[in-house]
Structure 1
Amino acid sequence: MKIAIVTDAWRPQTNGVVKTLSTTAEGLRTLGHDVRIIEPNQFKTFPCPTYPEIRLAWLPYGRVSQLLEEFGPDAIHIATEGTLGAAARKWCLRRRFPFTTSYHTQFPEYVRARVPIPLAVSYAHLRRFHSAAARTMVATPAMQRLLESRGFKNIVRWTRGVDVSLFKPRDKSFLDFPRPIATYVGRVAVEKNIEAFLKLDLPGTKVIVGDGPARAELESKYPTAKFVGFKYGEELASHVAASDVFVFPSRTDTFGLVLLEAMACGVPVAAYPVTGPIDVVTQGVTGELNEDLRAAALAALKLDPNQCRAYALANTWETATRQFLSHLAPRAATAAVAESALDSA
């Protein structure tokens, strides 16, 4: 099957959305499918307001139309709600071509963290965007419940996986800092609530792996924390595995791939009991969830690393990719259903 995936988030961005989509595309190709990614590097772009590291495609409809028509997809998945996602949605609606979407980011909460726009306004826009999709894929039961409470329809589950051959227990001596080492991995941005972690009175060392618009300010404000920037592949896995506890202060993530990656390394998680962690962390086994993040971090240090690893081994990317594939709305299959309905009418 020829599958087009349209996304406003792509390399060189480093985040869970890019990781999920790139890994899924690789998995689909392994299963024998022809996958085409339509992403910002194929267009003229402009910096996203308040987040210049993210580039958005400028007036992309004509080019999106050309790329889709040249590829001739059997199924189209629109992964994000940016300018590319909007252009692909418009193309599909004009041609009555069925498509699926996914909800990766709590965009209304991210916007409100920067601009005082009411959540109801942002959710109304997103509800309209996704309402035309055959199905909207979300990562967790909690995210499904949240969107359904906001009036979203046709929500289905698309879970996530982890590369357990890369993320695995490793030598703790890789990081030569006073222990215990508490680590955060991800974008260094206001919506990630990193300062809640940096403010904690914890023994040992705090390590921040990642970069973003808030890094300079936070690095200056918290000079004892170790800001090491983005890390990739073996180096990233080594940083995570050398930690003693993984602290995840975000209250707005829909999943948090880094949680599974930490567990795969045998590192327990400390987080708030919110969407994302509540569906990924097994309380008292693979991590601790508590509104008191300090208490969660100290309690997580006492958990069994082997239990964390065992949980991660049950979450593979192959399973997640097959789930994604089962939710697509291929044009031929949709047309066949419509034709059958007409014949029986």
Structure 2
Amino acid sequence: MVVPPWLSVPPPGYGGLEHVVAGLVDALVERGHAVTLFGAGTEHGTAAEFVSTHPELQYDRMGESLPELAHLAHVDRLVDPADFDLVHDHTTIGPMVAGRRRVPTVATVHGNPVGEYGTVLGNTDRGVGLIAISHAQRRANPGLPWVGTVHNAMPVRDLPHKRAPGAGPVLWLARFSPDKGPDVAIRACRAAGLPLTLVGKCHEPAERRYLEQVVEPLLGDDVDLVVNAGREAVLRLLLDARCLIMPVQWAEPFGMVMVEAMATGTPVVALRRGAVPELVRPGVTGLVCDRAEELPAALRAAADLDPADCVAHVAESFSVERMAVGHEAVYRGFLAGRAEGSRAVARLVAG
């Protein structure tokens, strides 16, 4: 299992990818698999054997290509066919270089597979299998070498959840980016007459510029701003929240925060973009709107939804056990396909 070199697994705060991988690793180990996790830094919190390619996390260089390339070069030197059946890569650049590996590789696509990223993925070696995290993501670029679709999940067994609707503010939880619509959230809550708490990741220069230039001028007494919150603080805010608002402005490929919110019993009010309809059960675990003008009424109506239905939905549809079983099926199918391809080549050579 290969993760980017930016964050620990699981991370102390922001890091949806790392939370997902932590859950997947532990579930696979519990199901009897031997898993080695390749990352950076010196700490991890999973049941896997951990191999670090760099003594320090490279978080301060997130977004640069060289740290990830150097990380992958180390991984490729360490991965031996005698020791591993399969590599599961979660990095951005991984699919481009995985064709050189001596061990078969599948790679989960965690972003939106269009634009420049789609161009990169379109040049993936055809011997590398891509895993989608939603059907919407796969539909966005159906010509890529997809080998399966497995929804993300998170460990919810020990996660606290509420038994009555939250009485606190509406919560927006994301990175500060126009894709995530914090400005839309402010306007919707203001129109609904409801207080809002904005909790956002803000480390990268583009995030800081967006916060300062777009979000901060919209703030008022009805909006609290929390920047770079830790994991425990986020959980407290989710448990208190009336609902989570997801006014996404792009084709969200998954949206792990929605699963986390529902797992705590917090319903989701979202715009119908990307994978949102695959995650939220309208009228049961949240409300899905087609236009931003519909959000204020949905925010008020969210208080009528039962937290128990939200928790049950996540337990049924987004458990780490279900995610592990889905990946096992993809792994086996991918390896069987490669084996059959090798046999076909051998038959051709034999004449």
1:74 counterpart (64, 82, 85): 85
1:111: which partner in 2?
Answer: none
* Residue in 1 that maps onto 2:153: 161
Q: How many residues align?
A: 317
Change (3 A) 1:275 1:132: same
Aligned to 1:191, the other structure's residue is in SS state helix
Residue 340 (structure 2) aligns with: 337
Q: Does 1:306 align with 2:282?
A: no
Gaps of 5+ in 1: 109-118
Aligned residue runs from structure 1 range 80-91, under 5 A = 80-82=91-93, 85=94, 89-90=96-97
Matches within 5 A, 1:143-154: 143-148=137-142, 151-154=143-146
Q: 1:146 to 1:334 in 2, by over 3 A?
A: closer
Q: 1:235 to 1:6 in 2, by over 3 A?
A: closer
Superposed displacement of residue 124, structure 1: 2.1
In the alignment, which residue of structure 2 is the partner of 1:19?
19
Q: Note if contact 1:171-1:242 (Cα within 8 Å) is conserved in structure 2.
A: no
1:98 aligns with 2:104: yes
Q: Aligned pair in 2 of structure 1 residues 285, 243: CA closer, same or farther (>3 Å)?
A: same
Question: Do structure 1's residue 294 and structure 2's residue 296 form an aligned pair?
Answer: yes
Q: What letter matches 1:204 in structure 2? A: L
Residue number in structure 2 paired with 1:280: 279
Deviations 1:217-242 (A, max 9, x none): 53464143222344455543232121
Q: Specify whether residues 97 and 72 from structure 1 end up closer, same or farther in structure 2 by C-alpha distance, changes over 3 A only.
A: same
Residue 128 (structure 1) aligned with residue 123 (structure 2): yes
Per the TM alignment, residue 311 of structure 1 is displaced from its structure 2 partner at its CA by 1.4
**Aligned position for 2:186:** 198
- Name the CA distance, whole Å, in 1 between partners of 2:227 and 2:321: 30
The one-letter amino acid paired with 1:100 is V
Q: Which amino acid aligns with 2:257?
A: V
Q: Give the equivalent residue in structure 2 for 1:36.
A: 36
Tell me how far 1:272 sits from its aligned partner.
0.5
- Paired with 1:96 and 1:58, the residues of 2 have a C-alpha distance of 17
User: Does the C-alpha gap of structure 1 residues 135 and 102 become closer, same or farther in structure 2, counting only changes over 3 Å?
Assistant: same
Match of 2:7 in 1: 10
Please report how far the alpha carbon of residue 158 of structure 1 lies from its aligned counterpart in structure 2 after TM superposition.
Answer: 0.7
What secondary structure sits across from 1:210 in the alignment?
strand
TM-score by length of structure 1 reads: 0.78
Tell whether the 8 Å contact from 1:245 to 1:300 is kept in structure 2 after alignment.
yes
Equivalent residue in structure 1 for 2:172, among 167, 179, 184: 184
Q: Could you tell me how far 1:7 is from its partner in structure 2? A: 3.1
Q: Give, in whole Å, the separation in 1 of the partners of 2:258 and 2:183.
A: 18
SS of alignment partner, residue 141 of structure 2: helix
Q: Give the conservation status (yes or no) of the 8 Å contact 1:99–1:329.
A: no
Corresponding residue number in structure 2 for 1:260:
259
Counterparts of 2:28 and 2:174 in 1: how far apart (Å)?
A: 26
Cα separation, 1, equivalents of 2:301 and 2:147: 35
Q: Following the alignment from structure 2 to structure 1, what is the Cα–Cα distance between the partners of residues 106 and 270?
A: 31
Read off the aligned partner of 1:77 and give its amino acid letter.
H
Instruction: Provide the C-alpha distance between the structure 1 equivalents of 2:339 and 2:241, rounded to a whole number of angstroms.
Output: 53
Partner of 1:138: 132
Q: State the AA in 1 paired with 2:140.
A: L
What's the CA shift for 1:141? 1.8
Structure 2 segments unaligned to the other structure (5+ residues):
42-52
The CA distance in 1 between the partners of 2:307 and 2:140, in whole Å, is 31
- How far did 1:18 drift? 1.4
Cα contact 1:268–1:300 (8 A) shared by 2: yes
Kept in 1, the 8 Å contact 2:164–2:307? The answer is no
**Could you tell me how far apart the structure 1 residues matched to 2:197 and 2:27 are?**
32
SS at match of 1:77: strand
SS in 2 for 1:228: strand
Is the 2:109–2:131 contact (alpha carbons within 8 Å) kept by the matching residues of 1?
yes
